[in-house]
Each structure stands twice: as structure tokens, then as C-alpha cells.
Amino acid sequence: MDSIKGLIDLAASPPVAFTLSIVVFFTLFRSRWPWTRGGGLTMLGVGVAGLVFGLSDDELRRRVAEPDNLPIVGLVFVVGFFVWLAMSKAWANDEATERGDPTLEESERDDRVLTWPDLVFVELIAAILLTVALVVWSLLVPAPLEGPANPALAPNPSKAPWYFVGLQELLVYFDPWLAGVVIPGLIVFGLLAIPYMDRNPRGNGYYTFRERRPEILLFLFGFLVLWCQLIVVGTFVRGPNWSFYGPFESWEPARVAGTATISLSEALWVRLLGVGLPGSWLLRELPGLLVVGLWFVGLPVLALRSPWLREQRERLGRVRFHTVVFLVAVMGLLPLKMYARWLFHLQDIVHLPELLLSL
């Protein structure tokens, strides 16, 4: 039992877990089976078994059963269910289309019912049941109130409300100005922009995966891997001193905060070349700026050699296309910086305290 827990703790270490989650993500979305009833039940079974196994451990049970963390446990299952539901319908439709049959939605197109009572009544019942559920939840799990807050004493770890834990996680990898202002702004901006960027008319009014593969994968990668996963990680895997703790590892004694990190300029000029940092910041940060430039400009230009992307550019138009590319590049910065940090202790690609700008 302990060796299994040890293995899970090992797998929960950030580089392994993150890599695994990317692999799992793409594996799941490449195959058909997970989105069948059997696949869904299997995934549910794995989730429930994992939960039960986790609850058998005192350390993890304390973390999972904490009133603050219950919504996160719910989130895992609820998000999983709705993704599965949409995907299973999409696959079914795609297969029907392939056979030449109408999609589920098409076959129902001529069925009409009245708003009242068919819709409103059901909604009313749902609202009542949800209210009952919330009331019972609040009665069974009292609010985790503590003593008066002491401004001189921050709890360790100090965690944001669950819906912000993902953003809090960004603070580890990015300059606060980026993590707290720019990136959240871009996320909001990106979500607002989706209807204007997405010119693919397919999937309108019916579930489909095949006809919208890039759109769906791009969105779900950001939502599941980069957003939901960070919330789960921040809630269950981050402990005192904001260090990583395996799900079964004790938080006591607290792990000493992470190792010293370096910036790209220091790695290059000091560690590699051994010549010390150049006096001029432009020269000093030139390598970093080059990397960033390459990331935002060079890569898209290179990528445009692919005929598919050129086709997309034609379809979307230049402005739309480059906006999407920019947003995707920003999104891609997160895994890039995570790996850089975990593998090379590299914190900043561009380290420019002179301009209050670091990336």
C-alpha cells in the first residue's frame, strides 16, 4: 500500500504530473473508446476508486474533506461528466454523419414542445432540488470559520478562494504584474474574442468533434490542462511554503521553500560564459529578448510553412489569424515557463527590473 502511495506521490511531482496530464489529454481525445458509455463508466470508476483510496489515507482525507476543498472534488467530477457528455454526443453524431444518417439534433428538429410546462416546470424542479442540495450541504458541513484574522500573521500556506487558486499558481512562474494583471486580462479578452475569431460554421446547433477538432482541442487544453488542473494542483498538492507535496506526504515538518532560481541572462553570461553580466541591460537581456521574439514572431513564421496553417490564414484573414496566434503563444508560455522552472530552475527569460518587466 505504502509503495503505491509512494508511486503516486512521485507521479504527483510537477514535471511528471504535468507531462502525464498532457499525454493523457491527447490520448483521450485521439481515441473513441473513452467517450462511449463503457469508457465513461470506467473513467468514473477510476475517479471514484481514486477518491476512496485517497480517503483511506488520514493525511489526504484531511485535505479532501476540508470544507474549503469539497467544491474542488466536485469540480473534478462535474467537469469530467460534462466533457464526457458533450464528447460522447459529438462522436455519435460524427459517426451518424459518416453513415449518412441525420445527427441526433437533426432527427429531433421537427419535434416541438411548449415552454410551459415542458421546460419551465423541469427548471423549477431542478431549482428546488439544487436549493435542497445546497441547504443540506451547508447543514452537514458547517462553514470553516476561524478566529479573528491577524494581519501580522499570514497562514501558511495562504490559499486564494478555489476559483482563483489557478491564477495564484501563475504567480509562481510569472512576474506578479503579468500573472496578476496581464494574463488574466488576456484570458478574459481571449474568451470574449472567441465568437469573432471562430469562423468555423460547423457544429452550429449540434455536437460534433470531427468538424471542429482544432477549436475544441485548443479550448479544452487551456481549460482542462491549464486552468482546472492548476486549481486541483494548487488545492491538493501545494502545502506550506507553497512547496509541492505528494497527496500522501505529510505537510509537517514544512518543506523549506524551493531552490534558488536564475534568469536566462544569468545562466548564459555567468554560468555558461563565465564573463559576468554586461553593464547594458539591452545587451544583458538580448538573449532573452531573442527567445521571446522567436516565440512570438519566429515560431508563427516558421509554422506558416505548413499548408494547413496557411489555409487557416486564408480562411480567417490576417488580423484574426495573428490575434489567435498571439493568444495561443501567450497560453503556450505557461507550460514553457513551468518546464523551464522545474527542469532548469529558470525563472525569467527576460529579467528587466529596470523597466519593471520580467518574463
Closer residue to other proteins (CB): 24 or 128: 128
Beta carbon nearer to other proteins, 41 or 132 = 132
DSSP 179-217: IIIIHHHHHHHHHHHHHHH----TTTTS--SGGGHHHHH
CB atoms within 10 A of CB 265: 23
Q: What amino acid occupies position 328?
A: V
Considering the complex, state which of residue 20 and residue 134 has its C-beta at the smaller distance from other proteins: 134
Shortest spacing between CB 150 and other proteins, in angstroms: 5
Residue type, 47: G
DSSP 244: B
Q: Considering the complex, what minimum distance in angstroms separates the CB of residue 14 from other proteins?
A: 24
User: At its nearest, how many Å lie between other proteins and the CB of residue 106?
Assistant: 18
Rounded least distance, CB 277 to other proteins, Å: 25
DSSP state of 238: B
Closest CB 356 distance from other proteins, rounded Å: 32
DSSP readout, 100-160?
TPPPHHHHTTT----IIIIIHHHHHHHHHHHHHHHHHHHHHS-----S---TT---SS---
Joined grid coordinates for residue 114: 411548449
Q: Grid coordinates representing 216?
A: 475544441
Query: Which residue, 98 or 110, is less far from other proteins as judged by CB?
Result: 110
Nearer to other proteins, 24 or 136 (CB): 136
* Minimum distance, C-beta of residue 261 to other proteins, in the bound complex (Å): 24
User: Which 8-state DSSP code applies to residue 246?
Assistant: -
Question: Which residues bind to other proteins, rule: CB under 8 A?
Answer: 111, 113-114, 117-118, 121-122, 124-125, 128-129, 131-132, 135-136, 139, 146-153, 155-156, 252-253
Q: Which is nearer to other proteins, 31 or 250 (CB)?
A: 250
